[in-house]
Amino acid sequence: MEQLAAEDPEALALLRDALQDGALEVVGASYGQPYGLFHGGESNVRQRVTGVRTHALHYGSSVFEGIRVYGTPRGPMGFRLQDHLTRMYNSAKLYRIPMPFAQDELERACKQVVTENGLAKGAYIRPVAFRGMAGLGLTAREGSPVEVAVAAFEWGAYLGEGGLKNGVDVCVSSWQRVAPNTIPAGAKAAGGYLSSQLISMEAKRNGFAEGIGLTTDGMVGEGAGENLFLIKDGRLMTPPAASSILAGITRDTVMCLARDMGIEVMEQPIPREMLYFADEIFFTGTAAEVTPVRSVDRIEIGSGSRGPITERLQDAFFGIFSGKTPDSRGWLEPLVPPMRPSVAI
């Protein structure tokens, strides 16, 4: 303002008049980890200015994804990047959020943000699409803008480095998962995570690493931000997609790996008491990866530490990135196209 007053006082006066008349809006600026703003073609910026009347800010009208990048012997690789973006576009379709970019354009933006921020050793990518200045009505105005941004930053073990080896203590929350045909659990939309926040906040307030939400009929749903598996008599069990869960991509990965190892996989409704009877329990998720659960409601699970089948599945999962587990399904996607070998003439 001081510079504008010195260089162009008439422009400053016009700006003040516009603010008083409501023709312009005062906005807030958010700061944080380096992230790339794809909308407008920018990247590697630290500041994003968002209007206080942004529709998503008031009503949660945004869709997003969480995608891991792993350092591998072949260089940094995005893990199941296409599958994540496909889910994001399906979520946008459900909520009638018109994506202003094609999926392959957003894919290139995700890769660009990681490489330009020098995150070759590993990163977490967060693409997000949200309704912008769409008015304060509950339903966004027709043709209102949709903003798209991509964040990329380093993120270690979501539930703690020690949790991956030793397991975590969790509880069954007093808050239930959303009922079917209310907020669609199969879409990854911001507003749906208010339920997850209640589950997670209650757990942490009571000294647990995470909470588990039951369905409205009292069956096991999922963790606040993770899918859940239990092992009983050598069988791997997980609630079905109909149990108000987000059918996670890491969940699908683990089921594929388990079948490859000859482990029987069962998607079935799970009553609460099965949690306490289980031989092993673990969480899965892009952030959580494969995290063992050592106790539920302070009842020890199995031996009270990471179980043998959980450890085998962990080794197979992380082996995808070390090269120990063959990437037979093409889950790893290079961030930079491989260079063609030079040809001597």
Which residues are known catalytic residues? 188
- Comparing CA positions, the residue from 162, 205, 189 lying closest to residue 306 is 162
Q: Helix 103-116 crosses helix 81-94 at what angle (to 10 degrees)?
A: 130
Contacts of 301 (CB under 8 A, 6+ apart): 167, 275, 276, 278, 279, 280, 281, 293, 294, 295
Q: Would you call 285 exposed, middle or buried from its count of C-beta atoms within 10 A (0-12, 13-18, 19+)?
A: buried
CA 337 to each of CA 75, 78, 115: distance values in angstroms, whole numbers, following the listed order: 11, 12, 12
Instruction: Supply the DSSP string of 114-161, one letter for each residue.
Output: HHHTT-TTEEEEEEEEEE-S--SSSSPPTT--EEEEEEEE----TT-H
Contact predicate 140/98, CB 8 Å: no
State the Cα–Cα distance between residues 279 and 301, nearest whole angstrom: 6
